[in-house]
Every structure is written in structure tokens, then in C-alpha cells.
């Protein structure tokens, strides 16, 4: 089971959206929850948001083995977290916010599919698969 806090920051009329995913290991892996059932993982997600003073936009939701937590972009503690650009190669691994762009309607150049090669865990999860799950779930 994994937890994935995320922000949806930009959506324009052309369907371009910006997502920030909160990932571990300097932005390369989903946050893994060891031996946790879905209900416990959802409860943990709520506790994680509360402890870090992050405001949840909606209730966390689970798709496959990932608990998604949409965070309100103006949560006061967001500035306290590192971002992906602050983690040069060779640094101590940490949890960071990492940005991605997504074409919601039409993707004539296959930009979204390029993210299918970016693995986010030792399992089959990729940036493409998690963003697809978010966009299919949320309007």
C-alpha cells in the first residue's frame, strides 16, 4: 500500500494541468506504507495531513493500492517541505514535492505517455499511471 499526497495547481482552457506529487527518495518513489489495509491507510493519510498542517481538499480515496490525498494548494505548511529542485544528485534522500505537466484532453505529441517510463516504486506504478488515476477520478 502507498500514500500519495498531491496538488493540482494549474488548469487552463487547453487542458494543460500541473500536478505536484509528494514523493520519497528525492522524488523518485511513492511513500510506502508497510503491511497496512486500505481503511488503516486512509486513516493514516488523514493523520499525515493533520500532523503536517496540510488541508485536504476532499476525503482521501484509494485506487488499487494507492491512497490519494488531494491537498489544498494554500495549506500554510507547504513552504516547509523541500521541492524536487532542491535535491541535487548525491544528497540524502528525503520526501519532496515534484511537479509534472499533464495534457487532459488531447495529447497529440504523446507527452503524457513519456511519463510511463518514470517508475515510482518497485511495483508497476509510473508517473503516467498515477496521474491517469487522479484525472480519471477527479473532474
Going residue by residue through the chain, which has 139 residues, state the pLDDT in tens, using 9 for 90 and above: 999 999 988 766 677 888 999 998 888 899 999 888 999 999 999 998 888 888 899 999 999 899 999 998 876 666 666 665 556 667 766 788 888 888 876 777 777 888 888 999 887 899 999 999 998 875 4
Report the C-alpha gap between 33 and 9 in whole angstroms: 26
In the chain, the largest separation of any two C-alpha atoms, in whole Å, equals 42
What does the domain layout of the chain look like in residue ranges?
2-137
> C-alpha cell of 49?
495531513
CA distances from 137 to 47, 87, 89, 95 (A): 22, 31, 34, 25
Amino acid at each position: 500500500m502507498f500514500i500519495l499526497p498531491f496538488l493540482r495547481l494549474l488548469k487552463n482552457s487547453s487542458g494543460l494541468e500541473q500536478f505536484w506529487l509528494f514523493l520519497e527518495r528525492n522524488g523518485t518513489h511513492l511513500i510506502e506504507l508497510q503491511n497496512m489495509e486500505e481503511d488503516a491507510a486512509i486513516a493514516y493519510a488523514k493523520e499525515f495531513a493533520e500532523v503536517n498542517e496540510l488541508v485536504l481538499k476532499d476525503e482521501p480515496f484509494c485506487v488499487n493500492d494507492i491512497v490519494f490525498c488531494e491537498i489544498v494548494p494554500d495549506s500554510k505548511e507547504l513552504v516547509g517541505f523541500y521541492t524536487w529542485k532542491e535535491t541535487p544528485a548525491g544528497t540524502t534522500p528525503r520526501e519532496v514535492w515534484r511537479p509534472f505537466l499533464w495534457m487532459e484532453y488531447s495529447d497529440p505529441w504523446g507527452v503524457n505517455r513519456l511519463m510511463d517510463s518514470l517508475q515510482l516504486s518497485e511495483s508497476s506504478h509510473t508517473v503516467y499511471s498515477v496521474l491517469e488515476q487522479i484525472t480519471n477520478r477527479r473532474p
